[in-house]
Structures are given as C-alpha cells and as structure tokens.
C-alpha cells in the first residue's frame, strides 16, 4: 500500500470543525503564554474582583488568541500537523501524545 500524501487526505467534518480547532487553541495558548500567565496572575491576585481588575489582561489575552484563531495560515499549519499525526498513528498505532514517552529501561 502506497503512503498517502498529506494533500490527498480527506478529513471528516469532526476533524476540520472540532479536532483541528482544538489543536489551534492549544497552540495559540502556547504562543500567547505571556498573556495567559499575566491574566492568571491577575486573577490570583484579585480574587472576587478579577472581573473588574483584570479587564486589560483579559482583553490582551483575547486579542492574542483571536489573531491566531482567525489566521488561515495558522489553521493550515495545524491541519498539516494533524494530518501528519493521523498518518503516523495509522502507520504505528501509537497516538501522538504517547509517541514521545520513553519506554521504561527495565521491563
């Protein structure tokens, strides 16, 4: 059986509308890590008043995340990564999250 090319892969509705956007959210949080940290720090420091006191941090975080969510190039990058992971899973049967784990040295 010939290896499938990433451009030839047909994705299901759930993959394009749920799984790839989930990957985008996770990666956007990494790319916006400083703003996530600033917002979390503000919330911890403000307690119940976080709604009032953390507006600026919240707005900066939302702006950063939205830039990535709406970027078609970012979607395409995540889609290609998703396809590579899917093909690797089909080849090995090992999910991406488990693939990087090291095997125990004593079995």
Please determine, for residue 96, whether its predicted confidence score (pLDDT) is greater than 60.
Answer: yes
Helices (H) and strands (E) in the chain, counts: 7, 0
Percent of the chain at pLDDT exceeding 70: 83
Tokens of 28: 């956007």
Rounded to whole angstroms, the Cα distance separating 96 from 84 reads: 10
Q: What is the pLDDT of residues 37-72, one digit of tens each?
A: 999 999 999 888 888 999 999 999 999 999 999 999
For the residues 21-29, what does the mean pLDDT come to?
Answer: 96
Rounded to whole angstroms, the Cα distance separating 36 from 32 reads: 6
For the residues 95-99, what does the mean pLDDT come to?
Answer: 69
Within 10 Å of residue 28's Cβ, how many Cβ atoms? 21
* Domain chopping of the chain, boundaries: 13-93
Percent of the chain at pLDDT exceeding 90: 66
In degrees rounded to 5, what are phi and psi of residue 4?
-80, 145
């Amino acid at each position: 059986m010939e290896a499938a090319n990433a451009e030839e892969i047909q994705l299901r509705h759930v993959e394009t509308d749920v799984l790839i956007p989930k990957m985008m959210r996770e990666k956007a949080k990494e790319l916006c890590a400083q703003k996530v940290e600033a917002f979390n720090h503000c919330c911890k420091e403000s307690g119940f008043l976080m709604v009032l006191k953390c507006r600026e941090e919240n707005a900066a975080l939302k702006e950063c995340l939205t830039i990535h969510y709406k970027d078609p190039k970012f979607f395409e990058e995540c889609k290609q990564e998703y396809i590579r992971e899917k093909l690797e899973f089909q080849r090995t049967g090992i999910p991406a999250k488990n693939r990087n784990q090291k095997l125990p040295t004593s079995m």
